[in-house]
Chain A
Amino acid sequence: MTQPMIEATGLTKHYGETHALAGIDLTVPRGTVLGVLGPNGAGKTTAVRILTTLATPDSGSARVAGFDVVSEADQVRRNIGVTAQDATLDEALSGRQNLVMVGELSGLRRSAAKTRAAELLERFTLSEAADRVLRTYSGGMRRRLDLAAGLVTQPPVLFLDEPTTGLDPTSRVRMWDIVRDLVADGTTLLLTTQYLDEADALADRIVVIDHGRVIANGTASELKAATGGARLEVTLTKPHEAAVGALRLLTEGEIDVSADGRLLRASVRSGSGVATAVIRALDTAGVVVDDVAVHPPSLDDVFFALTGSPATEAAPAADDLEGVA
């Protein structure tokens, strides 16, 4: 197998008393997308800062595009594009001036930097606003320009730190399309996100981190399968007292019955033949069924199962986590 484009081993980093990273391993093969998923403060940005040479790890090591992020930082910088979570462009310059500046600082001649800036502005539908000062840009426009700035030298490895946080739904979908195009072009991508649907939609593999540790690692479907627990919804033609008893052997935990007694909800082990088994059991008990639905677990369910707290809320206290970490 060829060398991975991003490879981190045992990265730790603390800021004062806070252990931002408590030993992280990451591997991203060439041309694939790794989604790094975690709540605010999980250590995602710290990991990205180390991999993009903005911070040095306390221990552990990382190589990007084959170069060590500490001892070969300059080589790493020649091979990466970065779109940070906070805007990193010059508010007092126009969009075009920003891209030309980034191009020149990346080593392009001024003429080449100008041509490339015009291409990217066109590509990201910013041509009309190209000569306006950045201050006048909307949030979505800034993000697109920030992403464009990361692509000026067409780097083989790209880091996107929460590329859609704070964007309206339209801008978000547009950003997803841009990212998909990049991936189609063969770029290796590390993407951090708080949004489970985003990781699900864009990433080949997902690493879930919390409190500076990797708590799960796999494809979206592997993570869902590992959590088990698909959601079962059964709609009866009319309420039937035998229904709950018939389902009990197949489900896990409480069975929730709606007020009118027709809708039953419960967790089931996901696996082949679940729906058939449910219908057979209910039929045997003489219950007539209108509808059966088995929903595979969402990444939200996965996150909840792993950390004991919803992904969108603040991370739990450290001692809640001993069991999972």
Chain B
Amino acid sequence: MSVATLAVETRPPATYGKLQRAVRDIVVLTRRNVVHIAREPLQLSDATVQPVLFTLLFIYVFGSGVPIAHGSYKDFALAGLIALNLTTSAMGTAVGLSSDLNTGVIDRFRTLPMWGAAVLVGRSLSDVLSAALCITMVAMTGLAIGWRPDASALSIVGGFAIPLLFAYALSWACACLGLVSKGPESAQGIGLIFLFPMAIVSNAMVPTQGMPAWLATVANWNPVSSVTAAARDLLGNPNPSAAIHTWPMQHPVAASLVWSAAIIAVFAPLATALYRRRTTG
């Protein structure tokens, strides 16, 4: 059989608009990244094993030593565990993008008549899917050991949606890290230095009231705290931060939305610019 013998039309239909092509490219690359997550034990564990493990460890180990007014540590901790897990696993974006840049696969994409930024958008969307899986794992584990939300269905959906939006925003920041780092290992190392303190210096696992004043101030303005407080309110779980008189703790839902929007507004264009710079020569 000759290579020229084609059973299929290999030219794209001319009717495809620019937008339609871009959407298709994004879908294709998102699907590709999902296959990666499913096949890479480390990435998969970030979204499955780690959330279960963290949930059990924090609730049983910390739960015995952290008193929560008007509720149980279990009910307090769950929203915090969602925020903690999403924040630490946001590194996956940096690692994944950095790995792609260190192989020839980006060069292959760049010789195809596709929308270049689909590489980044596809990455951030597959990260949202993996974040949704992570939230599900935390919630299921919580339910299994006695955590209960106490709010309307709509409110509960909101309680999961806000952390998900934040994870999406964070993935753009981490994309920038992936684009400036030398390789996946250094992306992971640098990512941990930023993300781990960000996850811990917050109201996620302990109320900030017990922290030294300066640390409490940092924690109360940390976007992770806004997201956690918003999720607690929306899930109908105890939220000691409601007693703190700073704007984000008084309006955690609004603060979470502002933080997420601001992070996307800064880092999405930056990531696009960095990607362009990194891939033109």
Contacts and interface: CB of A to CB of B under 8 A. Distances in A.
A80 B111 contact: yes
19 contacts: A54-B111, A54-B281, A86-B107, A87-B103, A87-B104, A89-B104, A97-B35, A102-B112, A104-B28, A105-B29, A105-B112, A107-B21, A108-B10, A112-B9, A116-B8, A133-B39, A152-B10, A153-B10, A154-B4
B245 to A, nearest CB: 50
A54 B107 contact: yes
B75 interface: no
Contacts of B107: 54, 84, 86, 88
Nearest to B32: A101
A106 B1 contact: no
Nearest to A78: B113
Contact of A108 (B8, B104, B280): B8
B12 A182 contact: no
Nearest to B105: A90
Contacts of B111: 52-54, 77, 80, 82
Contacts of B29: 105
A186 B4 contact: yes
Q: Which of B25, B40, B111 has the largest number of chain A CB atoms within 10 A?
A: B111
A181 B2 contact: yes
Interface residues of A, number: 47
Interface string A180-198: 0110111000000000000
Contacts of B10: 106, 108, 112, 116, 152-154
Given A107-B16, A181-B3, A182-B3, A54 B110 contact: yes
Contacts of B16: 107
A35 to B, nearest CB: 20
A105 B109 contact: yes
Interface string B24-63: 1100110010011001100000000000000000000000
A106 to B, nearest CB: 5
Interface in A114-140: 115-116, 119, 122-123, 133
A91 interface: yes
A93 interface: yes
A112 B32 contact: no
A269 B21 CA distance: 61
Interface of B is mostly: loop
A87 B108 CA distance: 9
B69 interface: no
A185 B2 contact: yes
Interface string B162-178: 00000000000000000
B192 interface: no
A227 interface: no
B6 interface: yes
A86 B3 contact: no
B193 interface: no
Given A92-B35, A92-B36, A104 B113 contact: no
B95 to A, nearest CB: 13
B28 A105 contact: yes
Contacts of A55: 280-281
B8 A112 contact: yes
A151 interface: yes
Given A82-B108, A84-B108, A92-B35, 17 more contacts: A52-B111, A54-B107, A78-B113, A80-B111, A87-B103, A88-B103, A92-B39, A93-B32, A97-B35, A104-B24, A105-B114, A107-B113, A108-B12, A112-B9, A115-B7, A115-B8, A185-B4
A67 B61 CA distance: 66
Contacts of A78: 113
A100 to B, nearest CB: 9
Nearest to B280: A56
Given A55-B281, A87-B103, A105-B28, A154 B6 contact: yes
A51 to B, nearest CB: 10
B70 interface: no
A108 B103 CA distance: 24
A149 interface: yes
